[in-house]
Structure 1
Amino acid sequence: MADGGGTGERPELPDRGKPIGRRVVLSVLALGAVGVATGRSISDTLAKIAEHDPTGVLNVLPFGANFRYYSVTGSVPVADPATYRLGVTGLVDTERQYSLTDLAALPQTDIVADFQCVTGWRVPDVPWSGVRLSTILAASGVKAQAKALRFVSFDGTYTESLTLDQARDPDMIVALRMLNGPVTHDHGGPVRLYAAPMYGYKSIKWLSEIQVVDRVEPGYWEGFGYAIDGWVGASNGRNDAPTR
């Protein structure tokens, strides 16, 4: 990765890959096997637990594709849809503050794509809808010295980044809807990023600000060794992993 700032190029890969989580607890695996053998009751219970499992130990159990909910702060305030604003700031010709109504009035893009977590679980064929990042950037105008975007969550801690080239990929959207409804609070609503060709940690939840900056600023998980370029299938999402 040149200068630690990302290549900006989307790899052309026939298969986006599926990293395998390593945190396996044998007792939990045994319980999952019982669920398969005895019917749906235990498996359904495990699925509900897994939706709020921050450890990843339930990811390998055979109870179907389910979202797991993560927060790096423990709790996140719920945004009032009436007063929510998405800021576009930094190296732009015109800084903006978008309400939900403003965002809904912009051209909308629909995407059906997988959500792939770097810990190994995947939810296939998720319907998403929102505004392309390229549309938002064009509306504000990007100054010549701009090189990247920095995304800020209203959880007060989480940040992420994309190069300008990555941000202009047509599958990068500011999502207002997912799973055929508004983005819920647990899923990062009222507005989140969906970076379709990248691992889930790049799709920042509870989005509050898009800062246009002059260099890539590594996000929250990059500080713990995650790859700045989080293309699914290019690696297992770790900086120490070989690319293919």
Structure 2
Amino acid sequence: MSDLEPHDVPDDVDADAWGLGVTGAVERELTVDVAGLEGLPTETFTADFACVEGWVAEDLTWRGVRVGDLLERAEPAASATHALVRAMDGAYACSYPIERLSEAVLAIELDGAPLPVEHGGPARLVPTGEADCWESVKWVAEIELVDAPPDEEDTAKAIALSRVE
């Protein structure tokens, strides 16, 4: 298994009850479970993962569903410009412009095995390209499309940086 460092799994995270909702400014709200994600086209990529805590996990191989494929099925409203990606723990959320989020992968495997819950399984958002570590949302439970950048609800950076202070 990879050398990606796990954090404690919050009590509110129940991998057996996991589901993903695509909500908000969409024509068709979606709910997907693990089997539904596994039935969608997937892609695989390898990249290093650097954390603000000072460690780097090299050559991680992720397999998952391109977020743009999910968004396409939900048919975003013309007014939708951003999305708030929420974790199953109810506290962690990160906002993205829709164009950038569409390129990210909702990973269901890490290094050829199902993504363990301690690493964000059953599904973790993994941005492609340049990204800060806090943008990789574990236990993704909801992608809410909105018509403006969400500020106060975007907790990811503050929570991540609080771990290193």
Q: Name which of 208, 218, 223 aligns with 2:141.
A: 208
TM-score where L is the length of structure 1: 0.60
Residues 113/225 of structure 1: CA separation in 2 closer, same or farther (3 Å cut): closer
Quote the Cα distance in structure 1 between the aligned partners of 2:123 and 2:159: 25
Contact map agreement 2:124 2:137 (CA 8 A) in 1: yes
2:70 aligns with 136
Residues 224/127 of structure 1: CA separation in 2 closer, same or farther (3 Å cut): closer
Residues 139/70 of structure 1: CA separation in 2 closer, same or farther (3 Å cut): same
Q: Name which of 11, 14, 20 aligns with 1:79.
A: 14
User: Tell me, which stretches of 5 or more residues in structure 1 are unaligned?
Assistant: 1-64, 227-244
Quote the Cα distance in structure 1 between the aligned partners of 2:15 and 2:135: 24
Contact map agreement 1:79 1:190 (CA 8 A) in 2: no
CA-to-aligned-CA distance 1:4-26 (integer Å, 9 cap, x gap): xxxxxxxxxxxxxxxxxxxxxxx
State yes or no: 1:180 paired with 2:119: no
Amino acid at match of 2:143: I
Q: Secondary structure at the match of 2:31?
A: strand
CA-to-aligned-CA distance 1:91-112 (integer Å, 9 cap, x gap): 0010011011111111101111
Contact map agreement 1:89 1:210 (CA 8 A) in 2: yes
State yes or no: 1:111 paired with 2:48: no
Q: Quote the offset at 1:222 in angstroms.
A: 3.3
State yes or no: 1:90 paired with 2:24: yes
Which structure shows the higher strand fraction?
Answer: 2
1:67 aligns with 4
Contact map agreement 1:89 1:212 (CA 8 A) in 2: yes
CA-to-aligned-CA distance 1:59-108 (integer Å, 9 cap, x gap): xxxxxx8322235xx73344243x42110000001001101111111110
Q: Secondary structure at the match of 1:68?
A: coil
Contact map agreement 1:91 1:145 (CA 8 A) in 2: yes
Amino acid at match of 2:148: R
Quote the Cα distance in structure 2 between the aligned partners of 1:126 and 1:225: 20
Residues 221/153 of structure 1: CA separation in 2 closer, same or farther (3 Å cut): closer
Residues 182/224 of structure 1: CA separation in 2 closer, same or farther (3 Å cut): closer
Q: Give the % identical residues.
A: 29
Q: Which has the higher contact order (CA 8 A, sep 6+)?
A: 2
Larger Cα-atom Rg: 1
User: Tell me, which stretches of 5 or more residues in structure 2 are unaligned?
Assistant: none
1:222 aligns with 157
Q: Quote the offset at 1:151 in angstroms.
A: 0.8
CA-to-aligned-CA distance 1:136-156 (integer Å, 9 cap, x gap): 110110101101110111112
Quote the Cα distance in structure 2 between the aligned partners of 1:158 and 1:175: 17
Quote the Cα distance in structure 1 between the aligned partners of 2:13 and 2:145: 26
